[in-house]
Structure 1
């Protein structure tokens, strides 16, 4: 019988305890879950969810290992036609579709005219990918001048909280939340996750190289015409609500600097590079051996210094002033669909905020609990 590793879904929908990020305490909902075998020994052999063990990773200061184990879990081959279900009969690299690709794309959550999204288990329809226009308004292209492409997907816990629990999938719902002084804060459940993936059009040789996680995808060109191509995954942001301030990790394909117009401004830390080598050695024979962790983030500050975390394919032009956590801490809603400013204008330069985030103006904005994708609501 096919072994199916069901995501922790409704079992884990209890909210976080609200502990401070410095305590790195795992949410009660996850700590009470039955954890599978230690993911650090089996992650490359079978699907293993490391989230119930987050407190152990944190105590041992193994956040980067947690990032790798979570990355492998969400990239496990999916059961065809089902959302969020890893196929335990397959090994990494054996399936065309990863588990996260079966999650809801944001286009299915924030639908035109603010209509109610289809249920979680609605048929899986591959999304029309977006051109990768970064948050500073610039488009990253490959060496041939072709656009890189982006998509944002949410797991069931995130989708359920937005659509069914809080009904904030459209502007009307978010406006109601903002104006209701008695409404509880937006506080995603412990099981919530979201990913942002970047893809690049592959030539025939690259398609056969075995160096990429590959998919077939479509997008709209500059003329509005639909174009389809074979794509390779080049970058991957992953966030998980295992702690009050979420956990952040970002990965890249190892050939990016030869194939895209993105420089490396912030090199990978030596300890992370060493871990990458160890993990890649476990993944030989799969496309995932050609991916690397750029870094993870679990706090705003470390050793009294702002934590910097950037992906060359997503924060190309502001790698030295990029903090995933600080940026997302400013996700907010205000009157007339306004939001807090996510840029720091200093000395004539535009930079991302880093370190402890500036407080949201009381009465002017309400927090969206680090989930900027809510701003896509219509």
Structure 2
């Protein structure tokens, strides 16, 4: 299987490797951790009036970094999406704009003039748009706010005292990308009913506009180890979801390793679930629609035993929405550069070239003059207080 992946993706020739789950020192596989966190965050929140799942009740980056003071959201707070922060990193100082269906900003990965072409061939509607949200659980929120890491002034103080930013072991972060149900139907050449059956849907708000959106893909990171455990999930019907690096899931998938198609942006079919995963999701009370999501892979190291950089990224968040090819995607490496200087400004320079996004070990020369923010990129929010 590894030989096949090398032949189809040229990963071996380019000295990179698809991230595959490992077993942590205490005997737990990271693929299991990925699904355990998945079950936790997609379980019902317990509020029958809103029908939200757990992650939708957490604080967004706007709640933490833009609100003054930071605020934990009310259970019935509306979902407000934004353009991809990563996709706009090269536009330093730009204020993050809300997801506005009436004035769509085309995803950065579409061909020019809409974007840089990292997702060329995806067939996503040229007039479509993708909204993104980043949410952090109570453990993350409490640590960030109590240490004053939610403002430029607070970061400057942390730098001055040499604070070692170190979130607690129960911290969890979520990044999800959503698109209008109508755009997804056009993308898949189907109807809205099919989209609602195969994607988790909700309503996003902009001014007085309410728009039905579908969750295309998401990242989860959790702090079980110092460098966090990273996991990528996609809806099974996303075209090209296993392209470039394949899909790897030793716990939840009936077929643990799926090689990339020889032709990109094609369907991979449903990802049949293992008996163990079916039991896990049933016990968590997750809705049936979540069975349509697939683990792309989990990551817990920068490089493999041969010093080849591990790659992990999904077809929506990186190439389509941020303009970063999967072949230049590493969740861990990207977030390892999250740091700030003596003025509380983020270290954005390593990420301003999407087509050459960093992978592998961190280049420590790019961290000189910066203090690590423990893999948290919320500090890059342009409207940070």
What TM-score does the superposition give when structure 1 sets the normalisation length?
0.69
Q: Is the counterpart of residue 255 in structure 1 residue 237 in structure 2?
A: yes
Give the alignment partner of residue 201 of structure 1, picking from 180, 193, 198: 180
Contact 1:249 1:295 in 2 (8 A): yes
- What is the 5 A alignment of 1:1-378? 24-25=24-25, 55-57=26-28, 62-80=29-47, 96-112=51-67, 115-118=68-71, 120=72, 122-132=74-84, 134-135=86-87, 138-139=107-108, 142-143=124-125, 145-164=127-146, 166-180=147-161, 183-203=162-182, 205-207=191-193, 209-219=196-206, 227-257=209-239, 264-269=243-248, 274-275=255-256, 276-279=271-274, 282=278, 286-304=288-306, 305-316=308-319, 317-336=324-343, 337-339=345-347, 341-343=349-351, 350-359=355-364, 364-376=369-381, 377-378=384-385
Count of residue pairs brought into register by the alignment: 295
Residues 338, 371 of structure 1: CA spacing in aligned structure 2 closer, same or farther, 3 A cutoff?
closer
Residues 338, 167 of structure 1: CA spacing in aligned structure 2 closer, same or farther, 3 A cutoff?
closer
Matched residue of 1:315: which SS? helix
Contact 1:300 1:306 in 2 (8 A): yes
Residue 11 (structure 1) aligns with: none
Matched residue of 1:314: which SS? helix
The 2-side partners of 1:273 and 1:198 are apart by: 26
Contact 1:133 1:139 in 2 (8 A): no
The 2-side partners of 1:352 and 1:362 are apart by: 16
1:63-95 Cα shifts (integer Å, max 9, x gaps): 21221221122100111189xxxxxxxxxxxx8
Matched residue of 1:244: which SS? coil
1:218-268 Cα shifts (integer Å, max 9, x gaps): 24xxxxx6542111111010000010000100100122228xxx9933322
The 1-side partners of 2:365 and 2:348 are apart by: 7
Residues 355, 302 of structure 1: CA spacing in aligned structure 2 closer, same or farther, 3 A cutoff?
same
Bigger strand share: 1
Structure having greater relative contact order (Cα 8 Å, sep ≥ 6): 2
What TM-score does the superposition give when structure 2 sets the normalisation length?
0.68
| Structure 1 position 362, deviation (Å) | 6.7
| Structure 1 position 299, deviation (Å) | 0.7
1:313-365 Cα shifts (integer Å, max 9, x gaps): 111142101110011111010134151532497xxx94121111112567611
The 1-side partners of 2:86 and 2:348 are apart by: 18
Residue 16 (structure 2) aligns with: none
The runs of 5 or more residues in structure 1 that have no matched partner are 1-21, 26-54, 83-94, 220-224
